[in-house]
Amino acid sequence: MQKEKFTIVGGGLAGSLLGVFLGQKGYKVDLFERRSDMRKDNVDGHRSINLALSNRGIKALERVGLAETILKDAIPMHGRMMHDKEGKLAYQPYGLEGQYINSVSRAGLNLRLLELADEHPNVDLHFEHKCLDANLYEAKTTFKKDDGEIVNHESDFLVGTDGAYSAVRDAFRTSGRVDYSQSYLKHGYKELEIPATADGDFAMDKNALHIWPRGHFMMIALPNPNKTFTCTLFMPFEGEDSFDLLKTAEQAQSFMMEHFADAVPLMPTMLEDFMHNPVGALVTVKTYPWFRGKSILLGDSAHAIVPFYGQGMNACFEDCTILDDMMNAYLPNWDTVFDEYQKERKPNDDAIADLAIQNFIEMRDSVGNPEFLRKKHIEHELNRLYPTDFDGQYELVTFSHTPYKQAWDQGAKNDALLKHIMDNNLDKNLEDKELMLSLIKKYV
Residues within the interface to ligand FAD (CB under 6 A): 9-15, 32-35, 47-48, 51-52, 130-131, 161-163, 167, 189, 232, 299-301, 307, 310-314, 316
Query: Considering beta carbons, is residue 209 or 326 the nearer one to ligand FAD?
Result: 209
Q: In angstroms, give the least distance from the CB of 275 to ligand FAD.
A: 19
Q: In angstroms, give the least distance from the CB of 397 to ligand FAD.
A: 11
Query: Considering beta carbons, is residue 312 or 392 the nearer one to ligand FAD?
Result: 312
Q: Which of 245, 235, 13 is nearest to 111 (CA)?
A: 13
Contact present, 140 and 153 (Cβ < 8 Å) = yes
Q: In angstroms, give the least distance from the CB of 424 to ligand FAD.
A: 37
Contact present, 187 and 58 (Cβ < 8 Å) = no
Continuous segment of H or E residues that includes residue 425: none
Continuous segment of H or E residues that includes residue 408: helix 404-423
Query: Considering beta carbons, is residue 43 or 426 the nearer one to ligand FAD?
Result: 43
Query: Considering beta carbons, is residue 15 or 392 the nearer one to ligand FAD?
Result: 15
Q: In angstroms, give the least distance from the CB of 119 to ligand FAD.
A: 19
Describe the crossing of helices 55-63 and 312-330 by its angle, rounded to 10 degrees.
40
Query: Which of 252-261's residues contact partners 24+ apart within 8 Å by CB, and which partners?
Result: 259/85, 259/212, 259/214, 259/217, 260/83, 260/212, 260/219, 261/85, 261/86, 261/87
Q: In angstroms, give the least distance from the CB of 368 to ligand FAD.
A: 21
Helices (H) and strands (E) in the chain, counts: 15, 19
Q: In angstroms, give the least distance from the CB of 310 to ligand FAD.
A: 4
Query: Which of 404-413's residues contact partners 24+ apart within 8 Å by CB, and which partners?
Result: 404/311, 404/315, 404/348, 404/349, 404/351, 404/352, 404/355, 405/347, 405/348, 405/350, 405/351, 407/351, 407/355, 408/351, 408/354, 408/355, 410/444, 411/355, 413/443, 413/444
Q: In angstroms, give the least distance from the CB of 169 to ligand FAD.
A: 10
In terms of DSSP bridges, do strands 79-83 and 129-135 run parallel, antiparallel, or are they unpaired?
Answer: unpaired
Q: In angstroms, give the least distance from the CB of 170 to ligand FAD.
A: 9
Name the 3-class secondary structure at 29.
Answer: strand
Q: In angstroms, give the least distance from the CB of 325 to ligand FAD.
A: 19
Query: Considering beta carbons, is residue 104 or 436 the nearer one to ligand FAD?
Result: 104
Query: Considering beta carbons, is residue 163 or 411 the nearer one to ligand FAD?
Result: 163
Query: Considering beta carbons, is residue 12 or 95 the nearer one to ligand FAD?
Result: 12
Query: Considering beta carbons, is residue 43 or 437 the nearer one to ligand FAD?
Result: 43
Q: In angstroms, give the least distance from the CB of 354 to ligand FAD.
A: 15
Query: Considering beta carbons, is residue 22 or 167 the nearer one to ligand FAD?
Result: 167
Quickly list DSSP for 150-166.
EEEEE-SEEEE---TT-
Which residue's beta carbon is nearest to the bound ligand FAD? 12
CA 120, 126, 131, 136 torsion-angle sign = negative
Q: Which of 369, 382, 356 is nearest to 436 (CA)?
A: 382
State the alpha helices, DSSP H only, in 300-403: 300-303, 312-330, 334-361, 370-385, 393-399
Query: Considering beta carbons, is residue 209 or 421 the nearer one to ligand FAD?
Result: 209
